[in-house]
Structure formats: structure tokens, C-alpha cells
Amino acid sequence: MIRYLLAPLLLALATALSALALPAQATAAWDLGQLMQALAGNGGGRVRFTETRHLALLDAPLVATGELVYVAPARLERHTETPVRETMVLDGDTLSLDREGRSHTLKLRDYPEAAALIESIRATLAGDRKTLERTYALSLSGSATQWALDLLPSDPAVAKVVLRIRVTGNRGMVRGVEIQQADGDRSVMRIEPPAR
């Protein structure tokens, strides 16, 4: 059970973070190659986020806010401030969750599907299009000032959990990550521009 559920949340975390501190590109044309190049130059940074979860079970969406931190090459942090303080850190192969004074640590290799996803995310961070395309079909739409990258899982294990991931942005900035889950639930993360 746990292994299927872990995947999208890691993905949400990592995809959002992958967009941090992208170098702004002045080029007029905007294609997948350029996006990947921009991603490859990713250094790291800190942004605020607002995540809204739409669950079929609930009458109203759940909202969480906080900060995301990316430290190249392999450390991703999600510090939730509301509704409860908690910290989730992915460092290399270790995922740890601190919540209400309790700490849980998972090893990604114990969750093979999640590990496959994480490898894709690492590929996104590295601008490694080849590895990314092993798990997803990529399609980029829109313009350089308002683009959307759709990730459609081609790996059946990932597809069991995730229908589609849409990353949107403005030039080198990621502004949103939307995950459509296989069970119909949906989460939307809005990312504020990094304070410089």
C-alpha cells in the first residue's frame, strides 16, 4: 500500500523543487531542449508554496502552506507551516518525515516504484531528458512566458497512481505543479517567485 502512495507525494515535492532558481532565459523560442538545459543549470533555492488538495471524500479542499528548499544535487525539503508544522526531507535515498515530534525515516530502495519515480525526478533536476522519457511521455505547450510541461506516465507502476502531472511556468520559473491522481483526487501547488 505504502509504496503506491508514496510515489505521487515525492513527485509533487520534487517536481516543484526542480523548478527552483531556474536561470531566466532571454531566448524567444522555447522548446523542450531549452527547458531541459535550463533545468540542468539548476542550482537550488527557497520558495513559498500553497498546496490545495481536492479529495472526493471531502466537501472542501485542504490547503497547506509553507516553504520548499532545494539544495543541489539531491536534497529536497518541504516545510509545511499550516495546518500543522511538519518537515519532509528527501536526502539522497532517505526520506524523513517529522510530524508532531515524531520522526519517521524511509529508505527509498524499500519502495521500488517510488525509487523509479525519484530517479525520474533526479533526471528532471539534472535536465536528463533521456532518463525522464523512460518513465514519462513529455509534451511542452504554450510560450516561453507561459508554458506547460505535461508528464504522462508510461511506466505502468507509476501510471497506477498518477494520471498526469502538469508543470507550468513563466520562462525559467515554475509557477505551479498539478497532479491528477488515478483515483480522481487532485492536488494543485502554487509556487511564489523566489525572493531575491
Residue 112 interacts with another protein (CB under 8 A): yes or no: yes
Residues 13-32 that bind another protein (CB under 8 A): 13
Q: Secondary structure of 23-67 in the HEC alphabet?
A: CCCCCCCCCHHHHHHHHHCCCEEEEEEEEEEECCCCCCCEEEEEE
Residue 118 interacts with another protein (CB under 8 A): yes or no: no
Among candidate residues 10, 22, 42, 48, the one with its CA nearest the CA of residue 187: 10
Shortest distance, CB of residue 97 to another protein, whole angstroms? Answer: 6
Among candidate residues 72, 168, 180, the one with its CA nearest the CA of residue 127: 72
Residue 137 interacts with another protein (CB under 8 A): yes or no: no
Among 26, 28, 29, 57, interactor with another protein by CB under 8 A: 57
Among 24, 26, 60, 195, interactor with another protein by CB under 8 A: 60
Q: Indicate the residue among 122 and 171 with the shorter CB distance to another protein.
A: 122
Among candidate residues 20, 33, 31, 5, the one with its CA nearest the CA of residue 75: 20
Shortest distance, CB of residue 1 to another protein, whole angstroms? Answer: 7
Find all residues with CB under 8 Å of 1, minimum gap 6, and list them: none
Q: Indicate the residue among 104 and 160 with the shorter CB distance to another protein.
A: 104
Residue 184 interacts with another protein (CB under 8 A): yes or no: no
C-alpha to C-alpha distance for 70 and 194, rounded to whole angstroms: 12
Residues at the site binding another protein, with contacts judged by CB under 8 A: 1-2, 5-6, 8-9, 12-13, 51, 53, 55, 57-64, 78, 80, 83-84, 86, 88, 97, 99, 102, 104-105, 107, 109-110, 112, 115, 185
